[in-house]
Structure 1
Amino acid sequence: MTTNHTLHTATLKNNCPECFANNGLEFTFSQKETAHKLYVKAEKTIDEKLYCNSCNTIIYPVNWDDDIERVYNYNKKQVQPKSSSARLTKLGLGLIALTIVLVSALIYFALKATQL
């Protein structure tokens, strides 16, 4: 199961390159996280989107002007991405614990059998 987490959202006062409204632009930085049965892992890549709420369009980087680019660079520094290392779920931790207990029991009984 994949979920999309919003890391940072910023409202801009810049003019939209499409409709020229100055109160509808919004940057959204998000990161995908994939949950498996045994572990959860976030992707390294951060998805960035500039959306205009006035004309309901996505503004692609080709259409950005220098002012939008500066605001983008500032807001990109504000993003704190999730760690991309894998985290074990309760099921994963339980299986590891069960494996350790079973291996320990096998070693114990093997040593006890050799002493007889």
Structure 2
Amino acid sequence: MTKKTNILHTAKLKNNCPTCFGTDGLELKFTQDEDENAFFHKPNRNISETLYCHNCKNPIYPVNWTEDIERVYDYNKKIAETRRQYLSVKPLFYILIVLAIIVIGALGYIFLF
């Protein structure tokens, strides 16, 4: 089973970085993992977010966030759309189901007559 990461939303922030105090380097990114194999793919429920400063090249952890950053974070979290939380099957799954029905039907026909 492979995991694929989808980027839901990316925002460049104009807030001050708590580490280097730069105003043009903050980037907020929302991502969601998706499990995928040959039969289906399904998005996970959890959404991860990262705040990164391109000026000082450091991730900014939520402990260091200011009230302004938290306000902008809440706004952008509402904008980030999650992928639907349902199991989506692939064509190989349907092919195997049809083959299983054919085999069961053939065995039933052989043993009944």
With normalisation by structure 2, the TM-score equals 0.89
Matched, 1:85 2:86: yes
For 1:103 and 1:80, how far apart are their aligned partners in 2?
43
What is the CA-CA distance between 1:94 and the residue it aligns to? 1.1
Q: 2 CA distance for matches of 1:2 and 1:101?
A: 33
C-alpha displacement at 1:100, in angstroms? 2.6
Report which stretch shifted further, 99-108 or 40-49: 99-108
- 5+ long unaligned stretches in structure 1: none
What is residue 98 of structure 2 aligned with on the other side?
A: 97
Alignment partner, residue 3 of structure 1: 4
Q: Which deviates more from structure 2 when the two are superposed, residues 96-105 or residues 37-46?
A: 96-105
How many residue pairs get aligned? The number is: 112
State yes or no: 1:55 paired with 2:56: yes
2 CA distance for matches of 1:93 and 1:48? Answer: 36
Corresponding residue for residue 36 of structure 1: 37
Distance 1:83 1:105 in 2: 38
Any idea what SS the aligned residue of 1:37 has?
Answer: coil
Specify the code of the residue in structure 2 equivalent to 1:54: N
TM-fit CA distance, 1:84: 2.5
Greater fraction of residues in strand: 2
CA RMSD of aligned residues (A): 1.5
Bigger Rg, structure 1 or 2: 1
Distance in structure 1 (CA, Å) of the matches to 2:63 and 2:10? 21
SS of 1:45 mapped into structure 2: strand
Helix, strand or coil for the counterpart of 2:46?
coil
Give the aligned residue type for 1:83.
R
| CA drift at 1:37 | 1.9
**Counterpart residue type for residue 63 of structure 1:** N
Structure 1 residue matching 2:50: 3-state secondary structure: strand
The runs of at least 4 aligned residues of structure 1 exceeding 6 Å deviation read none
Q: TM-score, normalised by structure 1?
A: 0.87
Give the gaps of 5 or more residues in structure 2. Answer: none
Using the TM superposition, give the Cα deviation of residue 99 of structure 1 relative to its aligned residue in structure 2, in angstroms: 1.8
